């Protein structure tokens, strides 16, 4: 699948940078304290913990994508905490259904396309970095809106908003307008805790429930009528 391995590369760069920081800090401690065995051991332990965290955070399991032609899959791993009707004026152009998914720091942070189709919009909006645990963070935080013209149903438009959080400070979309994408294909990465809002036409029937744990590219969260 396209974009496989990009999350691992991002994690590897972070680990390599941490090696440099660790060596510089260890060298400074050794120079200042003429040894500092206990502090060096503590520093090494913190570095190992950081590396384990990064490896876990940037994991990118393959999605087992459902074949049901009516299915719309979750764009993210996390917990569904908002299901409502709202306005999405930019891409869907009016009232729509929204499914909001909160991603904790222990969830997978690669996002997948909920439907197959053509990417028509990738729009970045600067903003704040409020706690993504709060659903209203979507109104104020930095975000990227991705619009997809579905090839699975005539005239269908689907959008997802990738939202930065208190810890998440970097959104990395891997698609551009004009790109074709398959259902369940990787399309982006948000580094650390964040939120993803999925916008669907009102004709879709939401099958997800509040509090449900979902897997990106796998869990069916809505169906076409």
Provide the β-strand partners of residue 134: none
What value, to the nearest 5°, has the Cα angle with vertex 189 and ends 185 and 193? 130
- Tokens read off for 170: 């970097």
The catalytically annotated residue of 74, 100, 137, 194 is 194
**Is 194 a known active-site residue?**
yes
In this structure, the number of other CB atoms found within 10 A of the CB of residue 164 comes to 26
Query: What tokens were used for 59?
Result: 């994991």
Q: Which residue's entry shows tokens 């729509």?
A: 96
Q: CB-based contacts of 1: which residues, under 8 Å, 6+ apart? A: 62, 182, 185, 186
Closest CA to 190 of 170, 174, 176, 175: 170
Q: Is 178 exposed, middle or buried (0-12, 13-18, 19+ CB in 10 A)?
A: exposed
DSSP summary character for residue 135: T
Alpha-carbon distance of 207 to 114, in angstroms, equals 14
Q: Which residues are catalytic?
A: 194
């Amino acid at each position: 699948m396209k974009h496989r391995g990009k999350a691992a590369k991002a994690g590897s760069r972070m680990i390599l940078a941490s090696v440099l920081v660790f060596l510089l800090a260890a060298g400074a401690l050794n120079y200042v304290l003429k040894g500092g065995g206990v502090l060096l051991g503590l520093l090494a332990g913190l570095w190992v913990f950081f590396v384990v965290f990064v490896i876990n955070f940037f994991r990118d399991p393959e999605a087992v994508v459902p074949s049901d032609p009516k299915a719309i899959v979750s764009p993210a791993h996390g917990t569904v905490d908002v299901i409502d009707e709202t306005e999405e004026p930019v891409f869907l152009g009016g009232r729509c259904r929204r499914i909001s998914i909160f991603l904790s720091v222990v969830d997978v942070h690669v996002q997948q396309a909920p439907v197959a189709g053509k990417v028509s919009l990738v729009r970045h909006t600067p903003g704040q970095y409020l706690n993504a645990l709060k659903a209203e963070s979507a109104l104020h935080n930095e975000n990227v809106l991705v619009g997809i013209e579905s090839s699975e149903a005539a005239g269908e438009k689907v959008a997802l908003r990738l939202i930065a959080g208190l810890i998440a400070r970097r959104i990395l979309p891997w698609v551009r307008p004009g790109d074709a994408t398959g259902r369940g294909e990787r399309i982006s990465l948000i580094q650390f805790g964040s939120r993803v809002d999925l916008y669907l036409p009102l004709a879709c029937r939401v099958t997800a429930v509040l509090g449900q744990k979902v897997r990106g590219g796998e869990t069916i969260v809505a169906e076409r009528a």
